[in-house]
């Protein structure tokens, strides 16, 4: 568990929750989800002392769950926000290794070889999320992160580096969060930026999967890769919609709060309120951009699937047209040979020495004539690839 005291122009780490929040700042407590479950009594006491109310049992259960969707809920004392951030590459790789080990274990237990995994674009495997929970009081912020979460540590390191490099006190104050809600919005903005950075990789991976699928002889795993991409893009859409709903509900709450809830001074309260609303709107717009991009990619994936079916149908039509033309060419020849193969005593040319050559020439002329007619009517054309 890490505890940070923010003041008007600085921050400092402390070993335990203080007895009271700074007069010109707030306290931030961030910890792993497993530690949150283990130290609930201490956190509830700190929430009562610094925030004015303990966390509700229902909210404690929500914050303890690692599979909870993005969600917002508010009380008269604090707000609870759960936001699902993008998983890091290390987390995704660890989960894939764990799933592979489980599949290998079950396959060995059943006495059968492990099934071969379908080759899927790596970028789509990165569409995985982890729940981060926030309990936002007036002078206290409790954030619950998955184990090894990079969001909180990256933010602290960045702010500490900026504070050391800057010699302008005013600029430092501008970068210091004005309150717990401001800090949460900055963290959420950093989480959404990771989704924005992923868009380029998703577009490139989808284009590669499309090109492979549209080849005349696609790889055996191209279809599985495209289906996997569609499923992951649909999951990304659901994730963004949940994030939008949570952020919109919190934004409505920020707008409905009276100015006195932000500060006792009307001018300062109006500035803080406008700043928080502007940050919340910015986060909402970023989520909306990710959602629109995911929808465009899913439409593109759906389009390439339809093109794939159309291309397969076109190839089938070419084959059937060729077979039909060949059948049509040989059908008169079969009729001709069938006529002369009838078991009658008197048939033309059957007793003539030149009959076989005349029949052969007639067969060639019939076949050539039908072939010329088909060529002129473009029943037989060469496919250009």
Domain ranges (residues) in the chain: 2-312, 314-376
| pLDDT-derived band at 167, boundaries 50, 70, 90 | very low
pLDDT of residue 127: 82
Q: Which residues, in sequence order, are bridge partners of residue 32?
A: 145
* Rounded distance between C-alpha atoms, residue 150 and residue 13, angstroms: 18
257: left (phi over 0), alpha (psi -120 to 50) or beta: beta
Instruction: Give me the count of residues in the chain.
Output: 385
Q: Which CATH superfamily is domain 314-376 in?
A: Magnesium transport protein CorA, transmembrane region (1.20.58.340)
What is the separation, in whole angstroms, between the first and last Cα of the chain?
Answer: 63
Q: Please choose, from the candidates 273, 278, 3, the residue with its C-alpha nearest in 3D space to the C-alpha of residue 141.
A: 3
Measured distance CA(61)–CA(144) in Å, rounded: 12
Q: Kindly report the average pLDDT of the chain as a whole number.
A: 80
Percent of the chain with pLDDT over 70: 84
Distance, CA of 25 to CA of 9 (rounded, Å): 9
CATH of span 2-312: 3.30.460.20
Rounded distance, CA 384 to CA 232, Å?
35
**Is the CA virtual torsion 215, 218, 219, 224 positive or negative?**
positive
Going by pLDDT thresholds of 50, 70 and 90, the confidence category of residue 377 is: confident
Rounded to two decimals, the pTM is 0.74
**Closest C-alpha to 14, from 4, 28, 26:** 4
What are the φ/ψ torsions at residue 344 (nearest 5 degrees)? -120, 155
- Residue 39: which of 76, 6, 68, 2 has the closest Cα? 2
Structure tokens at 3: 């505890």
* 218-262: pLDDT as tens digits: 777 777 778 888 888 888 899 999 999 999 999 999 888 888 777
CA atoms within a 13 Å half-sphere pointing along the CA-CB vector of 9: 8
**pLDDT beyond 90 at 79:** yes
In this model, does residue 88 exceed pLDDT 80?
no
- Using an 8 Å Cβ cutoff, are 30 and 143 in contact? yes
pLDDT at residue 132 in the model = 92
Q: What is the pLDDT of residue 284?
A: 93
- What letter would DSSP give residue 147? T
More confident residue, 182 or 105: 182
Residue 121 pLDDT class (50, 70, 90 cuts):
low
C-alpha distances in Å from residue 167, one per residue of 13, 33, 91, 164, 176? 21, 37, 38, 8, 14
What would the pLDDT profile of 3-20 be if each residue is shown by its tens digit?
A: 888 887 777 888 888 888
At 102, the pLDDT band (50, 70, 90 cuts) reads low
Question: pLDDT band at 117, cuts 50/70/90?
Answer: very low
Residue 50 has pLDDT above 80, yes or no: yes
Copy the structure tokens of residue 272: 């803080």
Q: How many whole angstroms separate alpha carbon 240 and alpha carbon 188? A: 13
d(CA 351, CA 175): 110
CA distance 133 to 292: 25
b/e sequence 321-359, b meaning 16+ C-beta within 10 Å: eeeebeeebeeeeeeeeeeeeeeeeeeeeeeeeeeeeeb
HSE-CB of 113 using CA atoms within 13 angstroms = 3
pLDDT of residue 168: 47
**So what's the pLDDT on residue 144?**
92
pLDDT score of 114: 44
pLDDT over 50 at 166, yes or no: no
Residue 172 has pLDDT above 50, yes or no: no
């Amino acid at each position: 568990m890490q505890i940070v005291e923010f003041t008007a122009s600085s921050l400092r780490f402390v070993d335990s929750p203080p007895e009271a929040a700074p007069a010109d700042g707030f306290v931030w407590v961030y910890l792993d989800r497993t530690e949150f479950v283990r130290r609930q009594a201490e956190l509830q006491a700190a929430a009562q002392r610094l925030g004015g109310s303990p966390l509700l049992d229902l909210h404690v259960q929500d914050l303890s769950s690692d599979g909870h969707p993005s969600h917002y809920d508010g009380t008269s004392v604090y707000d609870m926000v759960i936001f699902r951030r993008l998983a890091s590459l290390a987390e995704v790789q660890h989960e894939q290794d764990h799933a592979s080990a489980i599949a290998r274990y079950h396959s060995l237990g059943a006495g059968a070889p492990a099934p071969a995994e379908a080759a899927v674009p790596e970028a789509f495997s990165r569409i995985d999320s982890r729940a981060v929970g926030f309990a936002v009081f007036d002078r206290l912020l409790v954030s619950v992160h998955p184990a090894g979460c990079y969001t909180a540590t990256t933010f602290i390191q960045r702010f500490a580096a900026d504070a050391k490099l800057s010699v302008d006190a005013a600029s430092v104050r501008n970068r210091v969060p004005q309150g717990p809600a401001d800090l949460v919005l900055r963290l959420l903005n950093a989480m959404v930026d990771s989704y924005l950075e992923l868009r380029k990789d998703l577009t490139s991976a989808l284009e590669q999967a499309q090109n492979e699928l549209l080849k005349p002889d696609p790889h055996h795993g191209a279809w599985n890769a495209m289906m996997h991409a569609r499923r992951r893009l649909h999951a990304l859409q659901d994730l963004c919609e949940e994030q939008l709903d949570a952020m919109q509900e919190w934004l409505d709450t920020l707008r409905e709060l009276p100015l006195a809830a932000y500060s006792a001074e009307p001018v300062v309260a109006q500035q803080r309120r406008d700043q928080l609303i502007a940050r919340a709107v910015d986060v909402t717009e970023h989520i909306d951009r990710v959602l629109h991009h995911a929808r465009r990619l899913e439409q593109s994936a759906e389009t390439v699937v339809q093109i794939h079916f159309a291309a397969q149908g076109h190839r089938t039509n070419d084959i059937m047209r060729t077979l039909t033309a060949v059948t049509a060419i040989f059908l008169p020849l079969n009729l001709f040979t069938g006529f002369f193969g009838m078991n009658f005593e008197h048939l033309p040319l059957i007793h003539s020495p030149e009959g076989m050559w005349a029949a052969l020439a007639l067969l060639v002329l019939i076949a050539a004539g039908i072939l010329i007619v088909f060529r002129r009517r473009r029943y037989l054309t060469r496919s250009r690839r």
